[in-house]
Structure 1
Amino acid sequence: MLRKLLPPAGPSRGLAVAQLTNAIGDGAYYVCSVLYFTRIVGLTPTQVGLGLTVGWTLGTLASVPLGHLADRRGPRGVAVALAAATAIAVAAFALVRSFPAFLVVACIYTICQCGLVAARQALLAGVVDAAGRTKARAYMQSTANAGIAVGAVIGGVALQFDTESAYLIAFALDAATFLAAALVLRRLPRVPAVAKAGKGEPVLVVLRDRPYAVLTALNSVLMLYMPLLSVVLPLWVVGHTGAPRWMVSVLMVINTVAVVLFQVSVANRVHDLAGAVRIVRLSGLFLLAACVVFAFSSGNQAAWVAAVVLAAGAVLQVAGEMMLASGYWEISFGLAVEGKQGQYQGFFGSGIAVARTLGPLALTALVIDGGAVGWLVLGGLFLAAALATGPAVAWARRSRPVPSEQAV
């Protein structure tokens, strides 16, 4: 099974192994961290939420500068250093006993995590040829989901014991997996650093790239499926449908298993920017259809009927998710200025962070309060963003040299 999750031997496999390794630790951390900080350390849920919000906000702002650092110093070394720094930050959580200490460590942790994503993407662009980047990214996504699922089981064991020692073991595992990922990344080929910006040339070119900024914003809208899955659907299932509560877990399992099994196959359909635009348009239709189906799950239906409708919506949603990811991976790499992949991937990733940060509040107000109408509005928003991707890619192509065979 593991061999099927990993690409053939080479740099892509090293990147996938590194992703799988630290995803296992992350899965354990995500499951039990909040309860550790509230039940063991004694922080309030509000303090934990505030600390993480501040941390991820700073991490988002740091993505572009750290991505630029990866370009200038070489992405392999920067990725290794940030993976090791993340491990240290996770270990430091064990020393936290107050909110100020938690805030400091959380900020270091999130900044390192966001910078690591940018550096790792720049490393991928440097060690994998352009034709293979989307497929390599698909393997990384597939292995990440598998790793998080395994880690979640480990974290669940820590939750069951509900002791300080059990939680700290989960944290230690997370720190160890980041160190292991650093060792794996260190074995990848070295990517040369790019030259310093010339006189009169802006250092952070991506901040002046308006077409790329528009595409990042459109992707942020489409990435609202993330808080939809993790925040809105659980609230919807429990409060607005007759389905049993365990359907929340079933919907998560459907999503995780589908991405592990089929993400690479979906990505194989994308070979250039034109193909990326087509599959993003299709993803908008699937996400719209998923929202329509979810809207029909409410009401006084029998439990099994509501469960079937929710499962059908989850299948449509994950299909749209995989198409969207495959298309925008190709777009984010293909339209980045050569030699600037670090800062471009850092900027693109910041849009995803915005969706994760603002999405829960916005979608809760839209869907939970708005009901079926809210679902339809959200589906329309997904479709509109997907359809707008084509003109935005065409605009971006006109502003930079892209091979003519990739015309949209």
Structure 2
Amino acid sequence: MANTSSPLRQASRAPRALLLAQLSNAIGDGAFYVTSALYFSQIVGLSAARIGIGLTLAWAVGSVAGVWLGHLADRRGPRTTAVLLALATAAAVASFLLIRSFVPFLVAAAVYATAQSGLAAARQALLAGLVEPSARTEVLARLQSTLNAGLAVGAGLGGLALHAGTRTAYLSVFALDAVGFLVCALLLRGLPAVAPAPTAAAGEPRLAVLRDRPYALLTLLNALMLLRLPLLSLALPLWIVQRTSAPGWIVSALFVLNTGVVMLLQVRTARKVTGLPEATRAVGRAGAVMLASCAVFAVTAAGLGPWTTVAVLVLGAALQVAAEMRHSAGSWQIGFALAPAGRIGQYQGFYGTGVPVARTLGPFLVTALLVTWGAPGWLVLGGIFLLVGAVTGPAVRWAERARAQAPEARGATELLGAR
């Protein structure tokens, strides 16, 4: 009789377990994101400036540490590393329950950001070890859809805590997030183990990604494309309130539109991206569509009536989410396909720094362009997206040439020739 718990059968169930793990911590994170700033300001008593400085420093530390933790996942095994980092994230969130002053807040936030960054890299390495390359982009799309769904549910739960406004309600949200990461750790622990990568040969750098200039350029370009992240959460709400005649509720409606479209269509969009040529085209088109979206948003400063402004904003948001889905699918394929097989953890840790960089520096850059310059700022921002999309293709081809000339690639070619 066949063994139903064979490694092959376990691996076939890996995408489902990864989805459930994503959902478990996304619900808690969604509630945490909408309540944490108000908790630390209104309940703990930290100033907005200190909260901002603390989070900026924390994510800066997390971005750097994520590369090292990704390297650790490669060398020690991504499953064990991911489980430990999920537990560390749960502990960091739980420690927020005890925070009463700035220094402990800074330390806890740094641990939280470091564990989150490392966990993201380790989970990517785990996914790479359990999912066939041809299926990775679609699985990542499902994970993104699940993430959006979980964040939406969590945001609703966080809204209940905000409505209550009590210390107990806020602490319940933190406890929910911590439990979510404990469940995540349990689910990841049930996945098959992925063998650690071989130890680097003598003379090879431990963090090869830091010397990979083409990949570093692609990471920078990806971070620039991710400037779309603070658009919906920060810049666009400020723009709507300060520069348009649209009603305030449209901010929430645009967020719901974005989340819903990604949940429904991200997987379908990702299925079209099966290799690097499709990925570079997807990112290039995303840049062009983002330019169109920015141009549409700029029109709303022209003194249109409230309902006309709402219609134009919805059109701009629809273009923005279309570009987001194309960029996400292309970016996932590029980040995985150009990472050496034994170094996916450190490469994904480095590539993933684009998200905290965009979330940390993006609000300043985007609001400086849009709030200060107005409509011309939208066009400048759209031009940046267009340029980044256009440059991605040559950067990918440079990375492919560099990968083909790498010692490990030449050795594999010689081995095949000998056979």
Category of TM-score, reference length = shorter chain: over 0.9
Corresponding residue for 2:159? 156
Question: For 1:284, what is the secondary structure of its paired residue?
Answer: helix
- Cα offset for 1:285? 1.3
- Whole-angstrom distance in 1 between the partners of 2:369 and 2:318: 22
Residue 419 of structure 2 is aligned to residue 397 of structure 1: no
Residue in 2 that maps onto 1:61: 64
Q: Using the TM superposition, give the Cα deviation of residue 352 of structure 1 relative to its aligned residue in structure 2, in angstroms.
A: 2.2
Cα displacement (A) at 1:351: 2.1
Quick one: which amino acid aligns to residue 253 of structure 2? V
- Tell me which amino acid in the other structure corresponds to 1:40: I
Please show how residues 306-317 of structure 1 align to structure 2 within 5 Å.
306-317=309-320
TM-score by length of 1: 0.96
> Where do 1:69-218 residues align within 5 Å?
69-218=72-221
The alignment covers a number of residue pairs equal to 397
Q: Deviation digits for residues 152-178 of structure 1, max 9, x if unmatched?
A: 000000001100100010100000000
CA displacement at 1:87 relative to structure 2: 0.4
Secondary structure, aligned partner of 1:194: coil
In 2: Cα distance, 1:218 partner to 1:110 partner:
22
Q: Does 1:285 align with 2:288?
A: yes
Change (3 A) 1:199 1:116: same
**Do the aligned residues in 2 keep the contact of 1:121 with 1:345 (CA within 8 Å)?**
yes
> Shift in Å at residue 9 of structure 1?
6.2
Q: Which amino acid aligns with 1:370?
A: W
**343, 349, 356: which one pairs with 2:352?**
349
Partner secondary structure for residue 22 of structure 2: helix
Query: What are the ranges of 5 or more consecutive residues in structure 1 without an aligned counterpart?
Result: 1-7
Q: Find the residue that maps to 2:193 and give its secondary structure.
A: coil
Contact in 2 for aligned 1:240/1:299 (Cα 8 Å): no
Is the contact made by 1:242 and 1:299 (CA closer than 8 Å) also made in structure 2? no
Shift of 1:88: 0.7
Please give the secondary structure, in 2, of the residue aligned with 1:263.
helix
| Secondary structure of 2:81's aligned partner | helix
CA distance in 1 between partners of 2:203 and 2:354 (Å): 28
1:50-97 Cα shifts (integer Å, max 9, x gaps)? 111111010001011000000000000000000011001101100011
Task: Find the aligned partners of 1:159 and 1:123 in 2 and give their Cα distance.
Answer: 36
State the distance in 2 between where 1:349 and 1:122 align.
12
SS at structure 1 position matched to 2:56: helix
How does 1:213-232 map onto structure 2 within 5 Å? 213-232=216-235
CA distance in 2, matches of 1:237, 1:246: 10
Deviations 1:223-242 (A, max 9, x none): 10001111100000000011
> Which protein is bigger by CA-based radius of gyration?
2
CA displacement at 1:326 relative to structure 2: 0.1
For the residues of structure 2 that align with 1:390 and 1:188, how far apart are their CA atoms? 36
Structure-1 residue corresponding to 2:272: 269
Bigger mean CA deviation after superposition, 258-267 or 296-305: 296-305
Normalised to the residue count of structure 2, the TM-score between the two structures is 0.93
Unaligned runs of 5+ in 2: 1-10, 414-419
Q: Percent identity?
A: 55
* Alignment partners' CA distance in 2, 1:150 and 1:350: 26
CA distance in 2, matches of 1:191, 1:118: 14
C-alpha distance in 1 between matches for 2:333 and 2:188: 22
Q: How many angstroms apart in 1 are the aligned matches of 2:48 and 2:354?
A: 26
Alignment of 1:22-61 (within 5 A): 22-61=25-64
